[in-house]
Amino acid sequence: MALIFRRMVVVGVGLIGGSLALDARKRGLVGEIIGVGRGQANLRFAQRQGVIDRYVTTETDIPEDTDLLMMATPVQTTVSLTKTFLPVLRPGCIVSDVGSVKAEIVRGMERLLPSTIPFVAGHPIAGGEQWGARAAKADLFVGHRCILTPIKSTDSAALRKVALLWRKVGAKVEMMDPETHDRVLGIISHLPHVLVYALVNTLARSRVRGIDLKTYCAGGFKDFTRIASSRPELWRDICLMNRRAVGQSLGDYIKILEQLKRWIEDGKGSLLEKEFARANEIRAQIA
């Protein structure tokens, strides 16, 4: 298979960055993959496992002929960390990312990058609550969406190359404007994380005659709250960067909860059943 990129630098060799590197290597899409990160132990592990070819710990040590800089870092650091690589990025090097918030990152990259270094914003909708190179999985993106969020100034050739990379690792590439992306993810991803964190903390703060409620949690509660194991600092940043969409989604959800609370307190069983049945039907439509 023909190479798409000669040399890809992955900043943040964790679940997403590591899985992309693993599949790009396996499918022969990139000539060399170099990891960059804070923890040398994580980078050494990634190299031993064949996730990356080699690694550097200083931004200016990356090769000058890098043609793809993939930022797989927490969203709050994406733009500021990219700035540290600018002294060694040659014209034509494509910068991309995998963050689940797009509008603010796109605006920041527009201000930061010269016109000779194109940026393609992306978000693969795949993953889990694990992190680090040990979480990297082969074929993680197969059958999952990868949303790219180009704007008018996005370089079309760079967009095609990044889209091809994601398609070749099995993702279903979709184009969406950054603001729409953030509104969609605010509802289907960011809101559920906030709710689950709140639910787990409600459990911890509830008291029933000295009983440790955690010991009574069965499969349903554990399955529902699995994503509370995600990295707290990562989700803190996502909520703050997408605060408008998350705030709106939370407001809508709170209204529904308040309505349910009134119906329960007033004994409105028929209304509760109707609302539950509606949710049951909608859930059946989710693939």
The domain spans of the chain are 5-175, 180-284
Task: Specify the CATH number of the domain 180-284.
Answer: 1.10.3660.10
Tens of pLDDT along 142-193? 999 999 999 999 999 999 999 999 999 999 999 999 999 999 999 999 999 9
pLDDT at site 1: 59
Is the domain 5-175 a CATH 3.40.50.300 member?
no
pLDDT at site 186: 95
Tens of pLDDT along 113-149? 999 999 999 999 987 767 777 888 889 999 999 999 9
Which amino acid type is present at position 32?
E
CA dihedral 192, 194, 200, 203 (to 10 degrees): -110
Q: Which two tokens stand for residue 188?
A: 């289907």
What is the average pLDDT score of the chain?
92
Tens of pLDDT along 206-227? 888 888 878 888 878 888 888 7
Tell me which of 18-22, 131-135, 155-159, 266-270 is least confident: 131-135
Q: Which two tokens stand for residue 78?
A: 């994406």
β-partners of residue 9 are 34, 69
SS3 for 41-109, per residue? Answer: HHHHHHHHCCCCCEEECCHHHCCCCCCEEEECCCHHHHHHHHHHHHHHCCCCCEEEECCCCCHHHHHHH
Q: Quick check: 45 pLDDT over 80?
A: yes
